[in-house]
């Protein structure tokens, strides 16, 4: 079943808040070779002006992909996950994520375009902190091939 173009404009969430932890920041920093002490040592992070360990630039994907999961598993959108290739990704940060943040996310289907048996599905995840202030916007486009 191809992707349903009428799913554009759908929103999902907000979901159970995601708690950003020191352990996860260190683990993610190790995985992407982010060597700064501000990802690992609270004293270094404080000295650089952060309230706690600061997340690497792409850490927000950990939170955004949890939200996007609701889009790709919605039967009314019709994404066959075995046929998905990641096409592009963009992060826009109002401020960096830090350990201790409690983040609430809503995800929107911004566009679905189709040609030559491929559907391009763009989602936008909006991350906000416990006060409701925006923290990051994550745009992600998946290319979904139609099963032959």
Partner 1 sequence: MTESTSPSFDGLEVGQVVATREVAFTRASLVRYAGASGDFNPIHYNDVVAQEVGLPGVIAHGMLTMGAAASVVEEWAGAGNVSDYQVRFTRPITVPNPGEAVIAVTAKIGALDEERRTARVDLTVQHGEARVLGKAQAVVDCE
57 lies in the binding site for partner 1 (CB under 8 A): yes
3-class secondary structure, 70: helix
Kindly state whether residue 96 participates in binding partner 1, applying the rule CB under 8 A. yes
User: Counting contacts by CB under 8 A, is residue 35 touching partner 1?
Assistant: yes
* C-alpha–C-alpha distance, residues 53 and 83, integer Å: 37
Q: How many CB atoms lie within 10 A of CB 18?
A: 20
CA distance 37 to 72: 36
Which of residues 83, 100, 106, 110 is near partner 1 by CB under 8 A? 83
Residue 47 lies near partner 1 (rule: CB under 8 A) = yes
Cβ neighbors of 115 (< 8 A, separation 6 or more) are: none
The answer to whether residue 89 forms part of the interface with partner 1 (CB under 8 A) is yes
Q: Which residues bind partner 1 (CB under 8 A)?
A: 24, 27-28, 30-36, 38-39, 45, 47-50, 54, 56-58, 61-62, 65-66, 81-83, 85-93, 96, 139
């Amino acid at each position: 079943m191809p992707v349903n173009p009428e799913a554009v404009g759908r929103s999902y969430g907000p979901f159970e808040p995601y708690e950003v932890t020191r352990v996860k920041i260190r683990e993610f920093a190790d995985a992407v070779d982010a060597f700064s002490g501000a990802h690992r040592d609270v004293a270094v992070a404080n000295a650089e002006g952060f309230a706690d360990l600061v997340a690497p630039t792409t850490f927000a994907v950990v939170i955004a992909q949890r939200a996007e999961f609701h889009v790709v598993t919605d039967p009314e959108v019709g994404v066959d996950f075995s046929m998905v290739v990641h096409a592009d990704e963009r992060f826009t940060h109002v401020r960096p994520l830090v350990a201790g943040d409690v983040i609430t996310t809503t995800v929107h289907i911004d566009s679905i375009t189709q040609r030559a048996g491929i559907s391009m599905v763009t989602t936008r995840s909006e991350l906000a902190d416990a006060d409701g202030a925006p923290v990051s916007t994550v745009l992600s486009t998946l290319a979904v091939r139609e099963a032959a």
